[in-house]
């Protein structure tokens, strides 16, 4: 493969489910995975920062595996390069770290291949890898994304992000999606499923129309959260009492263990959440985040020009 201009892929974090929107509702957040690529004659992966414990810096790296598969689909061999990875997104905490890596790898491969895949094809491939579209769609498109995945196609609608703070309580322990899914029931009684789906409908409408006063009720869930209470000590209390401490709505973020709260009073809500977890002996990191309107981007970092895939991203001199 001919030498390529250095480029960077930036992918936002995401929160998914937000209560009853199980495997179908996601929102981008202003934490980011950054992948910086430069041409060289041997493969090199540099992990910057101190949060990469357990992440391989070789061909087993998720970004590299995703890129290699994309090249294989096009009958091409992945070329060598230098990849620097840096991320604000906590790993295995329910903030879309794996989806960001998958989306970032697909966008990088697409850029190097000359842009053969559309965004919809990239979302479909990310969904196949993740098993659900909500995190990947939010990271790829930005804003709030409502999705439906039938095992073959992904349907999605994108909306503007809410003008609210998103307080996140990130516990010191990790929780794998696989572990969190093992505690879910195989079925729900029909009346409970009807109620749960009605809450998801209400949540979608509230987010798209700005009815923030409905979030408290709309984010109530019976699809997954009650079964995950034992996995996250303090979660049940936070969900029950946060509204009395300034939260508009609160939920487990993805599979957890992070909790999120929509609010206009981030400091007050953060103090409450931290106090609850402390009483349960859990150390948490409180972050006051914002919903992020933009999806993942690709930009050139040497020379001037435009990515063939992301035509609205100007190259910059470094």
Q: Which residues are annotated as a binding site for ATP?
A: 90-100
134-141 vs 97-113: helix axis angle to the nearest 10? 50
181-193 as b/e: b if 16+ CB within 10 A:
eeeeeeeeeeeee
How far is C-alpha 222 from the geometric centre of its chain's CA atoms?
22
Annotated binding-site residues read 90-100
Burial class of 293 by CB neighbour count within 10 A (0 to 12, 13 to 18, 19+): middle
Instruction: Give the span between the Cα atoms of 1 and 44, in whole angstroms.
Output: 17
Q: Is the dihedral of CA 171, 175, 177, 179 positive or negative?
A: negative
Can you read off the two tokens belonging to residue 45?
């992966």
Find, among 222, 219, 250, 254, the residue nearest to 237 by Cα. 250
């Amino acid at each position: 493969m001919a030498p390529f201009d250095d480029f960077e892929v930036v992918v936002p974090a995401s929160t998914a489910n937000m209560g009853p929107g199980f495997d179908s509702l996601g929102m981008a957040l202003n934490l980011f995975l950054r992948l910086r690529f430069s041409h060289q004659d041997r493969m090199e992966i540099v992990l910057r920062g101190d949060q990469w414990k357990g992440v391989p810096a070789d061909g087993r790296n998720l970004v590299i595996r995703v890129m290699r598969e994309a090249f294989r689909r096009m009958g091409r061999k992945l070329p060598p390069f230098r990849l620097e990875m840096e991320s604000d997104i906590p790993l295995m905490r329910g903030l879309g770290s794996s989806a960001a890596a998958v989306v970032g790898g697909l966008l990088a491969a697409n850029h190097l291949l000359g842009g053969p895949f559309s965004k919809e094809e990239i979302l479909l491939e990310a969904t196949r890898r993740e098993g659900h579209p909500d995190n990947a769609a939010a990271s790829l498109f930005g804003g709030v994304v409502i999705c439906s995945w039938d095992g073959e196609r992904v349907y999605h609608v994108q909306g503007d992000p809410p003008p609210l703070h998103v307080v996140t309580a990130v516990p010191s322990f990790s929780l794998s999606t696989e572990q969190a899914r093992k505690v879910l029931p195989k079925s729900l009684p029909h009346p409970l499923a009807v109620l749960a789906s009605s809450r998801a409908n209400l949540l979608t409408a509230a987010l798209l129309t700005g009815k923030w006063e409905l979030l408290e009720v709309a984010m109530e869930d019976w699809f997954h959260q009650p079964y995950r209470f034992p996995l996250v000590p303090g979660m049940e209390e936070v969900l029950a009492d946060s509204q009395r401490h300034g939260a508009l709505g609160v939920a487990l973020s993805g599979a957890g263990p992070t909790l999120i709260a929509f609010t206009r009073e981030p400091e007050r809500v953060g103090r409450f959440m931290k106090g609850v977890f402390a009483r349960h002996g859990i150390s948490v990191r409180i972050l006051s985040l914002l919903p992020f309107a933009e999806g993942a981007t690709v930009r050139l970092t040497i020379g001037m020009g435009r990515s063939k895939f992301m035509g609205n991203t100007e190259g910059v001199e470094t």
